[in-house]
Structure 1
Amino acid sequence: MMQKIVGLLVGLLLAASAWAAVDINTATAEQLETLPGIGAAKAKAIVDYRGKNGPFKSTQDLTRVPGIKEGTYARLKDEVSVGKPAAKAAPAKAAAKKK
């Protein structure tokens, strides 16, 4: 019985990870190729654009990548993300005033 429960939990975890959005700021070219309408050339273009221009601020920024038009973006927009923004550190002066 315990093996069935563990198997079910593992299956659920794998299914959940399959539905997770691909973070276009950290994904490899191979991961990007899993997206609809993205082959090897477009995946490389995304990685190259990101390397040259820095992280994407929104998923809509994908349309700035050469070869990715609105139609391609429309097919994949629900499957991509830009991750969580990093928390900003409090300025040193503000922290010093609180003491």
Structure 2
Amino acid sequence: MHSTLKKIFFYGLATLAASVSSAAVNINTASESELTALPGVGPAKAKAIVAYRKQHGNFKTVDELKNVKGIGEGIFSKLRNEATVAAPVKKAAQPAVKK
């Protein structure tokens, strides 16, 4: 593959990876319905996550999900890469372009 094409290919992969990682569900702020977007999490587990969060406060790490009733190692391994406790990074405002 030509080196320019390689650069374009890898830039595309990096962009795709960034967009996928930015779609992570914040388990500290997500509603029950938003939590059901996580693999292996249905309405009952989403309710348990919210209840745990209310009782114990915000999750310090995603690994803490294993303390929620109904989330074992199997389900955790499916959702760990799609859950986050980090606040989303806000982009700096860009000045309006005048025409």
Alignment of 1:31 onto 2:30: no
Q: Identity over aligned residues, as a percent?
A: 48
In 2, distance between residues paired with 1:71 and 1:17?
22
In 2, distance between residues paired with 1:74 and 1:63?
10
Higher helix share: 1
In 2, distance between residues paired with 1:45 and 1:26?
14
Deviation, structure 1 residue 76: 0.5
In 2, distance between residues paired with 1:39 and 1:19?
22
Unaligned 5+ segments in structure 2 are 1-18, 88-99
Q: CA RMSD in A?
A: 1.6
Deviation, structure 1 residue 56: 0.3
Unaligned 5+ segments in structure 1 are 1-15, 85-99
Superposed, 1:26-65 pairs within 5 Å as 26-65=29-68
Q: TM-score, normalised by structure 1?
A: 0.65
Decide which structure has the larger Cα Rg and report it. Answer: 1
Q: Secondary structure of 1:44's partner?
A: helix
- Equivalenced residue count is 69
In 1, distance between residues paired with 2:21 and 2:86?
16
In 1, distance between residues paired with 2:75 and 2:23?
19
Give the letter for the 2:55 counterpart.
K
Corresponding residue for 1:76? 79
In 2, distance between residues paired with 1:18 and 1:74?
16
Cα deviation per residue 1:27-77 (whole Å; 9 max; x = unaligned)?
Answer: 000000011100000000000000000000000000000000011000000
Q: TM-score, normalised by structure 2?
A: 0.65
